[in-house]
Every structure is written in C-alpha cells, then in structure tokens.
Structure 1
Amino acid sequence: MGAINLHLELVFDDGISWMARLKRRNTSTPPAAVRPYLIRSEVATYSFLKKETKVPVPEVFAYALDSNNPVGTGYILMETIKGKNLLSASPTNGQLSKVLAQLAEVYQELYRHPFPLMGSLDTPGSTNIGPVLHDLMADLALTINGGRNTRQLVAFPGPFINLKDYYCALIPRILHLIVVGELYPFWAVDAFLIHRFLFDLLGQWSEDIQETGRFYLRHFDDKGDHIMVDEDFNITGIIDWEGAYTAQKTEAFTSPIALWNPEEFFSERKTLSNSELEFAQLLDDSSHGRADHPTNINLGDCVRLGKIFQRFRICVGYTLYDEDVENYRKAFMGLLREFSIHHEGPWEEWKAFALKKYSGDEKLACLLKREG
C-alpha cells in the first residue's frame, strides 16, 4: 500500500497472477476530478514502453478511469512483476553495481525515443503528449449539483516547449495555494519567500538550461521501490509510472532518488554519492559526445550536472512536514549556489534579506499578518 494506490495480487486457478492497482481515497490522493487523467496517462505510458521500447514494464490487461464501476474506484489490472523492490532488497555494493549496469541500459533505451514537447502521454496506444499531469497544475471549478459541492476539472495547462515555461505556470499556482492556506500552512512565510524568489530566478535562466525540441520520458517517483529485482539482482521490471512526464535531456537523465546521499543532497554542497559517480561512469559508455552546450553532453554528464534540476524540483511544491523544514531550507540554499548566487550566510540571514526584498508584496504582508 502506498499513499495513493493499493495493490492486490489476483491469482487464477492456472497459477497466472495479475496485480490490481486501485486508487485510494484519503487526504494524500489527488482530487477526484484529477484521478481519471492520472490513470489514463499511466496506462498510456505503459502502453508506449511495452510497444515501442525494451524497458521492462508490466503489461496492462484492463483499466477503469473512475469510480463508476462495480469495484467502486479507478483501477488498473496488470501483469504481476515478480521479485522484490530494490529498496526492500537491501543490496550489497556488488549487487547494486549489477542493478546500475542494467539501469544504465534503461536510460539509454529511453534516450532513443525523444518527444517534441514537455508533458505527459495522455492516450493509450498513442504517442501524443498532453499537459503535465501534476495535481497542483489542475484547473478545478466548483460546481453545485443537487445542493452538493463538487470540483470538476476544467483543464491542465501545457504541454510546454521548455522547463522554464513549465515553472512559470506552476510557481504562481503554488504561491496562490500558500496564501489561501492549502499548502505549507505551518511554514507559509518561509515557503512563500522561497517560491517568490525562485519565480524571479526563472528570469535569469540561461539558454543552457532551457532546452527545446527534444524531451525524454522520465519516471516521477524514482526512489528505488519502482525497480523490481529477482534473487540474483536482475531487473524484472520497472513499475509505478504514474505521473511520468517528458523532460529535457539534462533533467530526464539525472540520477534516481534511490542513489542520492540524503545528507549531501540536503546540504549546500554539490557532492555526488559513490553510486551516482558509478552510474555516471556507466552512462559514459553511451557517449553522444561532449560539447560546450548541455544538450550535446553525454548521459553520464547529465548525472554529474543534474543537482540543479533535482533541487529545483524538490524546492517547488515539496510536500513539507515539520521534521523536513530544515532539509527544505538547506536544499534551497544549495540551489542558490547552483545558480552561482553566493549567499554565504545562514538561512536566517537570507530570510531577513528576502523579507526586505519583498516588503511591498501584498500577499506576503497578508501572510505575515496571519502568522502574527
């Protein structure tokens, strides 16, 4: 059971096993109006990977988009991938190296299938790229039906021609949700200042981080439990493609979260873990030539240079719990250094600077008044 999905194994009389992936209903799941789009996009992603690539994924046998069915919720029926997920398997260094060599082949395979836009696959059996299916990007309208309030999906923005345009659409939405109390309720001022500054920072993005024209499918939640392995640490499948989207090369081929050193990542340093360095070396074998412009760097260098994209992704819309706030601040301070904004002081000093910088912002004034 995950935060959003519940999984049940269905075993038939002949020994064949299917997996039922059911949408849960709780405070962690996206709005009901968004869930059908997530299911359809996930099925479209599996369909593409199964038909067009050599990436090992389960076959989808049937699905329902919403709760209007005998099961009572949206679901996907798919092939069961045998084995353990990599996180629970606790590999030794040698076993992890074996997995990384196979994962490098997966990255190389995904690189062979570029898309023209940044977005999500939206139609099973098609390679059409639609909007990025991020729940914070959903335009919802409140409707009254029989005296009952419901939220209907109006649209998702996108697809986008580059990463900058995506963040230009996402960050203002997050700022609004912070102000109305739907995001970061206990750290509203800190989160507002960070997102307000990051929005301004978009104007300073240079061409080398605004790639256009070629985008690659990226797993949304690559923390390690998406990789299934057998007893010999052969990859048997890569699962959980919900929320997958196409990203520019330098973001698409950064290292998976599973390889991060959390202590280093949530710091102000750029240090890569030993596993990341090993993975980058494996990807060097897929060399596509080094050049001054990052769109021409090889996949290994995407890992070496990827912290800027990883930190930006964590800082924008990050699910923040009380115990995480210090790590969140550290990730942001590290991001400033990625952009060569050398603020050498502690967080408190930067916050004082930001409060002064945005002292005329009415939304910030509202938050400061609310927090007393």
Structure 2
Amino acid sequence: MSGDVAAPKKMRPSERWAPFDDWDYGGMSEPFSAGQYWCCFELVAPDDDRFLVARVRLPKHPESNATDADEEYLIQCEVAAMKFLRANSRTVPLPTLYAYEAPGSVRAINAGAAYMLIEGFYGNSLQDVDHSIYNLPVSTQEHIFAQWTSFQAELATFTFPQIGSISQYSTDTGPIIGAIATSWIDSLPAAGPFHSGWDYFVAVSKGLVAQALEKKRSGMENNQFATLGPLIFRNIVRDTEIFKGDLNQGPFHSNHMDMGMQNILIDDDFNFVAVIDWELAQSAPWEVNHCPMPIPLISSDRETAEILYDPGHTAHRNMPRQVGARLLYRQKFQEAEQGLEKRGNPLRYSIAEVLEGTASRIYGVVGKIGVFDGMEEELTGPEAEQYVQRLGEEMEGEMIAGVN
C-alpha cells in the first residue's frame, strides 16, 4: 500500500454560493452568484483544477433611471480600469480579464447578454467567510488589514489631475479620464470629469437629494431621516468649509470606490487572492476614504466613550472590539504609507490621517443612509433636532417645487 496521501481537493467558490435572496429560478440548481448588476457562473475544465468565471450582465432594473448608454459606459470604464491596473501594477490583486463582449456584439447577442470571462480563484468573499472581523484573533485581523491597506495605498499612488473614471486605456494613449461612471446614484447621470473635490461633492450631494426626494414622492421611502440625511449632507457641502480644504485640489488618487468585504476574495488562510467589481473605480477626492464595514466610524467620539464606559449598554460588548479594529486598520495604513515612502513613492496625503478627518467621517456616514434600516435617525444625530425640523420644512418646499 502506497504511503502517498492524496492532497485534499480544493473547494471552488461555487460550493459556497447560494441563490440571491433565496431565488431558485423555478428549481434551477446550478451554482451561481447574482448581484445587483451581474450574474456569475463557473466554467470548469474537465479533470482540471483550473476554471473561469463567466460574469453575465443582468437586465436593467425596471426602476433604474440609467439609460442603455449609461450602462454600457459603466462596463466600458470597468474594463479600462482593469486593463490599466494590469499593465501598471504588480501588487493590486485583480483577476485577469480574458474576454469581454459588449452589448450589441455578435457574441453577446448569441449569448443573450453582455459578458466577461475572468480568471477564477480558489477563494470566497471575506463577507461570506466572516462578517465580523473584529471578533477574529488579533493576529488574523493584522494579517487582513495589512493586505487591505497595502493595496489601497499602492492604488492611491496612481494620481490624475481630474476626478473621473478611466474611460479608455491603451499602451499607446495611456489612461483617459472621462465622465464618472456611477450606478451608486441613479439620479446622478454621468458627470464630470471634475477639476476640484468640492465640485465633485456638490454633484454627489445633489444626486443623493434628488434620489431621496424621488423615493419620498413615489412612496418608496417613508422614513424622514432617510431623506433629511442627504439634505444635511448637501447643506454641509454647500454652506461650510469642510469640503473646501487643502485636499480640494488635485492631483486626485485612484480608488476602487466599493471596497467592501463582499468584493475581497480570500483563501482559507485569509490571504487576499483577488479584488473584484471594478466598475465604480475612479480618480477621487482623498476624503472618500473612510473606515469600512464592519468597523465604520459612525458614532460621535462622545457617544463612543459613553458606550465604552457603560457596561449596561447593549453595544458595550462589541464597541471595544470595533474601536480596537479601527485603530489597527489605521495603523496598518500608516505602515503601508511608510513602506511607500521608503521606496520613493510616497502618497501626496496620508490616508491614515484623512480617516480621522471630519470630511471623511461625514462621507462615510452618508454612505450608510438608506442602507441600514432604522439607523438613519442615529446617523443624523439627536442633537440636531431643530436643524432637522428646519430641513424638513425645506424638503417639503422642494417637493412642492418639484411637482409644480
């Protein structure tokens, strides 16, 4: 009997996939992964460990205001961003793009949808493996955050004089910055490129307000704080100096713009194997960097301190872990930035310092409004009651003006 022991078979990602929101499409049993814009399938070679992922574009959501041209531009920018990074970075972990068929091409028509064929990895999303990073051993957290911050810092070394998406890339022309490709705010059409951070945040705040008012008019949103939050953000951008500081002018850094745990693929040892979904990637103001889920900086320093020193508070058990993880995340950014400086490629601004800034904290909070049910009132802040009341009256006026 041979003493050789067969190596354990690697688990492909699809073995952990489940239908989106428990959909089974009439009993369909093949493993697939569906998101908001794409549906993914594994293409596995017989008797081989290699595989590809077919990323197929889903039909546009009936409630989306995006045009077909906007949708196509979004995909075009994702492809251009991936090509640019593949040609210029050796450390940013992104999958190889083997093929792309745009809407209207012969192969896309034959397949029934636009699609990409991308490199498959033996790993799964960090979100699926563990929702609460701060509950993991500190050594594991250090390993995760060191990778997370290292590639973000390296990505930020690519800077551009304008804010926008990489609309085209070739080795001959280099990257071309065009209008922002966004699916985050349907009410904000492709805009830009922008020459200042303040212009960018003005456009984003207007898009958020338009979206919030439309949801309220149509009856899709009845929580007043989900509408007041974007109004408060717009007024902060418009009426204060918070988003008009030194970071306002370029050059502007490259940012994934959707760097959540759902887009980070890891192996069983928490090693990053790929970062996916680059469709929103763009050059951006430095203030868009903020503490990610599950360690967002959404509570005031005073509220955080009160929870830390109140053993009876429902959040007391988790708060010290979340605070510790945030500090570790910031520390790893500092270490990554120090490494870049030693290699002669320093960042223009320290992301570690930006994370503690008022603008970053506000932007991080705004991104959570309308995402987590029941949190909107907490995010707008109980101390702002009179201001909120005044904004409520302003909101009603804007709704009436919109109708007329």
Q: Over aligned residues, Cα RMSD in angstroms?
A: 3.4
2:87 aligned partner: 51
1:224 aligned partner: 261
Alpha-carbon distance between aligned partners in 2 of 1:355 and 1:7, rounded to the nearest angstrom: 43
Amino acid in the other structure paired with 2:190: F
1:6 aligned partner: 39
Preserved contact between residue 259 and residue 275 of structure 1 (Cα < 8 Å) = no
Preserved contact between residue 298 and residue 365 of structure 2 (Cα < 8 Å) = no
Amino acid in the other structure paired with 1:222: M
Alpha carbons of 1:100 and 1:197: their partners in 2 closer, same or farther (altered >3 Å)? Answer: closer
SS in 1 for 2:375: helix
Q: Is 1:121 equivalent to 2:158 in the alignment?
A: no
Preserved contact between residue 85 and residue 229 of structure 1 (Cα < 8 Å) = yes
Alpha-carbon distance between aligned partners in 2 of 1:123 and 1:158, rounded to the nearest angstrom: 15
Alpha carbons of 1:136 and 1:220: their partners in 2 closer, same or farther (altered >3 Å)? Answer: closer
Amino acid in the other structure paired with 2:195: I
Q: Deviations over 1:232-264 (max 9, x none)?
A: 222111112121222123434x33x23415xxx
1:158 to partner: Cα distance: 0.1
Alpha-carbon distance between aligned partners in 2 of 1:183 and 1:219, rounded to the nearest angstrom: 32
The structure whose Rg is larger is 2
Alpha carbons of 1:176 and 1:105: their partners in 2 closer, same or farther (altered >3 Å)? Answer: closer
Q: Is 1:199 equivalent to 2:234 in the alignment?
A: yes
Amino acid in the other structure paired with 2:360: F
Alpha carbons of 1:214 and 1:230: their partners in 2 closer, same or farther (altered >3 Å)? Answer: same
Q: Deviations over 1:82-134 (max 9, x none)?
A: 21221222263222321211223212311322122111111143411111112
Q: Provide the identity percentage.
A: 20
Alpha-carbon distance between aligned partners in 1 of 2:369 and 2:285, rounded to the nearest angstrom: 24
1:70 aligned partner: 110
2:121 aligned partner: 81
1:319 to partner: Cα distance: 6.7
Amino acid in the other structure paired with 2:43: L
Alpha carbons of 1:179 and 1:85: their partners in 2 closer, same or farther (altered >3 Å)? Answer: closer
2:285 aligned partner: 248
Q: Deviations over 1:244-288 (max 9, x none)?
A: 222123434x33x23415xxx443448573222112112222238
1:315 aligned partner: 366
Q: How do 1:1-372 and structure 2 match up within 5 A? A: 1-13=34-46, 15=48, 16-25=50-59, 26-27=61-62, 31=66, 33=68, 34-53=70-89, 54-66=91-103, 69-90=109-130, 92-93=136-137, 94-125=139-170, 126-135=174-183, 156-181=190-215, 185-187=220-222, 190-203=225-238, 204-206=240-242, 207-208=244-245, 210-252=247-289, 254-255=290-291, 257-261=292-296, 265-269=297-301, 273-285=323-335, 286-287=337-338, 297-305=349-357, 308-312=359-363, 314-315=365-366, 320=370, 324=373, 326-333=374-381, 345=383, 348-355=385-392, 358=394, 362-365=397-400
Amino acid in the other structure paired with 1:315: V
Preserved contact between residue 121 and residue 245 of structure 1 (Cα < 8 Å) = yes
Alpha carbons of 1:60 and 1:205: their partners in 2 closer, same or farther (altered >3 Å)? Answer: same
Alpha-carbon distance between aligned partners in 1 of 2:65 and 2:119, rounded to the nearest angstrom: 25
Amino acid in the other structure paired with 1:100: F
Alpha-carbon distance between aligned partners in 2 of 1:213 and 1:186, rounded to the nearest angstrom: 37
Alpha-carbon distance between aligned partners in 1 of 2:122 and 2:65, rounded to the nearest angstrom: 28
Alpha-carbon distance between aligned partners in 2 of 1:168 and 1:116, rounded to the nearest angstrom: 18
Q: State the TM-score, normalized to the length of structure 1.
A: 0.75
Moved more, 235-244 or 203-212: 203-212
Q: Deviations over 1:119-153 (max 9, x none)?
A: 1111143411111112376789xxxxxxxxxxxxx
SS in 1 for 2:258: coil
Alpha carbons of 1:176 and 1:283: their partners in 2 closer, same or farther (altered >3 Å)? Answer: closer
1:44 to partner: Cα distance: 1.2
Alpha carbons of 1:103 and 1:136: their partners in 2 closer, same or farther (altered >3 Å)? Answer: closer
Alpha carbons of 1:37 and 1:301: their partners in 2 closer, same or farther (altered >3 Å)? Answer: same
Alpha-carbon distance between aligned partners in 2 of 1:11 and 1:70, rounded to the nearest angstrom: 21
Alpha-carbon distance between aligned partners in 2 of 1:121 and 1:17, rounded to the nearest angstrom: 29
- How many equivalent residue pairs? 328
Alpha-carbon distance between aligned partners in 1 of 2:118 and 2:386, rounded to the nearest angstrom: 52
Preserved contact between residue 118 and residue 129 of structure 1 (Cα < 8 Å) = yes
Amino acid in the other structure paired with 1:5: W
Alpha-carbon distance between aligned partners in 2 of 1:209 and 1:189, rounded to the nearest angstrom: 34
Preserved contact between residue 48 and residue 127 of structure 1 (Cα < 8 Å) = yes
Alpha carbons of 1:175 and 1:85: their partners in 2 closer, same or farther (altered >3 Å)? Answer: closer
Preserved contact between residue 4 and residue 28 of structure 1 (Cα < 8 Å) = no
Preserved contact between residue 120 and residue 130 of structure 1 (Cα < 8 Å) = yes
Alpha-carbon distance between aligned partners in 1 of 2:364 and 2:329, rounded to the nearest angstrom: 21
Preserved contact between residue 41 and residue 123 of structure 1 (Cα < 8 Å) = yes
Alpha-carbon distance between aligned partners in 2 of 1:70 and 1:61, rounded to the nearest angstrom: 18
Alpha-carbon distance between aligned partners in 2 of 1:108 and 1:311, rounded to the nearest angstrom: 21
SS in 1 for 2:116: strand
Alpha-carbon distance between aligned partners in 2 of 1:184 and 1:354, rounded to the nearest angstrom: 19
Alpha-carbon distance between aligned partners in 2 of 1:184 and 1:128, rounded to the nearest angstrom: 41
